[in-house]
Chains A and B, each alone.
Chain A
Amino acid sequence: MRKLSLAVAAVAAIGVLATSALAADMQKVRIGTEGAYPPFNYIDSDGKLVGFDIDIAKALCVAAKFDCEFVVQDWDGIIPGLIAKKYDAIIASMSITEERKEKVDFTGKYYSTPAKFVGAKSMKVDIPEGTDAGNKALAGKAIGVQRATIHENFLRDNFPDADIKVYATQDEANLDLANGRLDLVMADSMALKEGLLNTEDGKDFEFKGPDYNEPKWHGLGAGIAIRKGEDALRESLDKAIATIRADGTYQKINDKYFDFDVYGK
């Protein structure tokens, strides 16, 4: 019996050595994500981090041969956390914008969808195309938006006459919409569809108004943010995005979550 357990221990030790030797060869990359932005990244009922971003991140890590680890960080501290080296890359549906590019570098986009408003089906509101007319139509309306997002900037710059309320997470904004404290929320159309409209709480709500996709605010799609000057990491990630686009991994993940091409044009 004693011999057997010794043998087991020896095998286990070899196993540990083998895996650690393997891991030592791979670059360790910590990935910061938010975990509150379904269906892109969120914590499921088992407490596990799941979603489109997470699956993409895992696929990229396989393609780039990185040993990856996820770090969950609240959205408004997610760029400061990257700069403070709490993690090495942000894969959290972060839109590539000029303002953010002053602080961090981005890979190319890994998806791109328009922003939209959501409001109650019972509420009659006509939001015309174009932001000037839209601003007039929405004067005084309470609009919820997540803090520190491109959508907050877009609203503040283009809908200054609306009553803009900022929330720490999109979930909280959606909750206040359902509670009737807000007339509208604005976010990425996919996030609103999956996180609100397709859920039980979202059955009385619908998209309102046009699609918004202004490069100045909405950027060039969602990319991976890394610290400035870390070009080797950026190039590896860009190459990994191209790899999973080419080998069908991206398509498989795309189809798991969406019934259309989320990569955009």
Chain B
Amino acid sequence: MDFQIIVDSFPKLLEGMALTIEITGLALIMGFALAVPLALLRLSPNPLVWPPVYAFVLFFRGTPLLVQIFLVYYGAGQFRPLLQEYGLWAYFREAYFCAVLTLTLNTAAYTTEIFRGAIQAVPHGEVEAARACGMSGWLLNRRIVLPKALRLALPAYSNEVVFLFQSTSLVSIITLMDLTGVARVIVARSFDVYEIYITAGLMYLAVTYGILGIFRQVEFRLSGHTRERPDGDATADPLKPFG
């Protein structure tokens, strides 16, 4: 083991990690914003509404992310005249845009499926109770269904966040200098394969545990009503009726 190379290249690896986190964050925020409405549309009984959403989810879950990245990045190049006509080439020219776009659509598809399942898992009784109180449509979704569904989706969604974070390592193949990209440049020069990839791997691991820690905190905060009261009154726990 050559520890000097690890020390020397650490600042560069940190820069790469910054880009990795930035791309992950952007894709997550936009993917989430897409997934919530898409999940609701996916559950629409209207035959003009749900099939396109279903097709979108099927495509992005059914093809490898690597293929999707190649398709958006090199595929866009093939349609350059058309994209230029609509003024979109300025975006597609940038590897950064292509990477964030692909990852956003990919995570949106997976998250849509997670939310669809969670929405369907909202207990029927709670929906009926809300309807009995006169809530319907958007009000019902906003007050009852979505908050409950998001809470139910949290464990599965934290997995998706971790998967997405690790999937960003693929963007190095379209010239971006994320953590993997930086590591590959250093290895190409020094051939210190183990030292550099182990360091990069540990950095991914540390951030992954950070992400999981945040989700554990959020889950804990959102599940206060399901825990025993500090005074030990077990009957207050609706999920544990028999103490």
Contacts and interface: CB of A to CB of B under 8 A. Distances in A.
Interface of A: 76, 79-80, 99-100, 102-103, 144, 147-148, 152-153, 165-168, 172, 175-176, 178-181
28 contacts: A76-B184, A76-B187, A79-B191, A80-B193, A99-B189, A102-B191, A103-B191, A144-B175, A148-B184, A148-B187, A148-B188, A148-B189, A152-B185, A152-B188, A165-B175, A166-B181, A166-B185, A172-B74, A176-B74, A176-B77, A176-B175, A178-B77, A179-B80, A179-B93, A180-B80, A180-B93, A181-B93, A181-B95
Report which residue of B76, B95, B188 has the largest number of chain A beta carbons within 10 angstroms of its beta carbon: B188
B80 A168 contact: no
Interface in B176-231: 181, 184-185, 187-189, 191, 193
A80 B80 contact: no
B167 to A, nearest CB: 17
Nearest to B89: A180
A168 B173 CA distance: 7
B223 to A, nearest CB: 45
Nearest to A102: B191
Contacts of B95: 165, 181
A144 B93 CA distance: 14
B182 to A, nearest CB: 11
Contacts of B93: 179-181
Contacts of B191: 79-80, 99-100, 102-103
A153 B175 contact: no
A97 to B, nearest CB: 11
Contact of B175 (A79, A167, A180): A167
Contacts, number: 48
Contacts of B188: 76, 147-148, 152
Contact of A179 (B77, B181, B193): B77
Q: What 9 pairs across the A-B complex have the smallest Cβ distances?
A: A179-B77, A148-B188, A165-B175, A103-B191, A80-B193, A181-B93, A147-B188, A168-B173, A76-B188
A147 B184 contact: yes
A102 B2 CA distance: 14
Contacts of A176: 74, 77, 175
Interface string B42-85: 00000000000000000000000000000000101100100000
Nearest to A104: B191
Contacts of B173: 168
A175 B193 CA distance: 29
Given A80-B193, A100-B191, A175-B77, 17 more contacts: A76-B187, A99-B191, A102-B191, A144-B175, A147-B185, A148-B184, A152-B185, A153-B189, A165-B175, A166-B175, A166-B184, A176-B77, A179-B80, A180-B77, A180-B93, A181-B93, A181-B95
Contacts of A179: 74, 76-77, 80, 93
Interface string B91-114: 001010000000000000000000
B189 A175 contact: no
Contacts of A102: 191
Nearest to A175: B74
B29 to A, nearest CB: 26
B39 to A, nearest CB: 35
Nearest to B173: A168
Contacts of A178: 77
A166 B188 CA distance: 11
A256 B187 CA distance: 36
B172 to A, nearest CB: 9
Nearest to B176: A165
Contacts of A175: 74, 77
Contacts of A153: 189
B187 A181 contact: no
Nearest to A152: B188
Question: Which of A147, A165, A168 is the most central at the interface, judged by chain B CB atoms within 10 Å of its CB?
Answer: A147
B50 to A, nearest CB: 36
Contacts of A144: 175
Contacts of B175: 144, 165-167, 176
